[in-house]
């Protein structure tokens, strides 16, 4: 072997040793290392409008059947409770100064009112928004007996405030036959005969 060939072999050997060192060991795991997923848990995109309405209707159809039966039972002051954003109004999908009603939920409210129930709205919007919120609900056709909002300078959890509002409705003499919302904080905490959960798509819809 010529001295040139010996030198080439030595260089090749050194390069192989360096590659092994870079690889850590000769049995290094060759699988690519995945970058850590730092996305928040609730980044699931909302589906199309048509899918959302179909998902809403899958809940409001049995809710309407229930209200038809329940509100045919005579006696007592009955009421339903509705969340506003993405329950009563198409906040996520439409927005705007006057946000359109979620049609199947408007139909539920209209049915409940026609059958003698009061219609109460319980929202985490603050008192500052009372006037435009009431205006929006009435403009798009909702019957509205009373609107419960987050009091000024109140920092309690959403569910605490919403549960308190339902307790106040009961104390005023009403039986809440149905509480309809799209987030668990709308519905947890009791004070309703039945709850109906519309989609929030893992928190994507407020
Ligand atoms: Mg909502």
What average pLDDT does range 2-6 have in this prediction? 42
pLDDT, residue 12, reads: 42
Q: Is 173 left (phi over 0), alpha (psi -120 to 50) or beta?
A: left
- How far is ligand 1, taken at its centre, from the CA of residue 113, in Å? 21
- How far is ligand 1, taken at its centre, from the CA of residue 53, in Å? 14
Q: What is the pLDDT of residues 134-154, one digit of tens each?
A: 999 999 999 999 999 999 999
- How far is ligand 1, taken at its centre, from the CA of residue 61, in Å? 19
Query: Helix or strand or coil: residue 61?
Result: helix
Q: What is the pLDDT of residues 43-92, one digit of tens each?
A: 568 999 999 999 999 999 999 999 999 999 998 999 999 999 999 999 99
- How far is ligand 1, taken at its centre, from the CA of residue 89, in Å? 9
Pairwise CA distance, residues 169 & 189, whole Å: 14
Q: Sketch the domain layout of the chain as residue ranges.
A: 49-197
Fold of the CATH domain 49-197: Rossmann fold (3.40.50)
Q: What is the pLDDT of residues 156-191, one digit of tens each?
A: 999 999 999 999 999 999 999 999 999 999 999 999
What size, in residues, is the chain? 206
- How far is ligand 1, taken at its centre, from the CA of residue 19, in Å? 57
Q: Give rounded-to-5 percent helix, strand, coil for the chain.
A: 40, 15, 40
């Amino acid at each position: 072997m010529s001295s040139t060939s010996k030198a080439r072999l030595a260089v090749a050997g050194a390069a192989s040793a360096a590659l092994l060192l870079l690889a850590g060991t000769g049995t290094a795991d060759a699988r690519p290392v995945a970058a850590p997923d730092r996305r928040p848990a609730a980044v699931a995109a909302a589906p199309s409008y048509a899918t959302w309405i179909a998902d809403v209707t899958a809940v409001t159809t049995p809710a309407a059947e229930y209200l038809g039966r329940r509100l045919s039972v005579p006696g007592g002051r009955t009421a339903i409770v509705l969340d506003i954003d993405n329950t009563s109004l198409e906040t996520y999908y439409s927005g705007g100064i006057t946000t359109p009603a979620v049609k199947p939920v408007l139909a539920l409210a209209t049915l409940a009112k026609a059958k003698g129930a009061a219609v109460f709205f319980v929202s985490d919007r603050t008192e500052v928004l009372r006037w435009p919120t009431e205006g929006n609900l009435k403009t798009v056709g909702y019957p509205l007996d009373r609107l419960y909002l987050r009091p000024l300078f109140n920092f309690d959890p959403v569910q605490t405030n919403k549960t308190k509002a339902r307790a106040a409705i009961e104390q005023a003499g009403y039986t809440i036959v149905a509480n309809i919302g799209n987030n668990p904080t709308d519905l947890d905490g009791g004070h309703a005969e039945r709850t109906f959960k519309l989609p929030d798509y893992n928190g994507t819809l407020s």
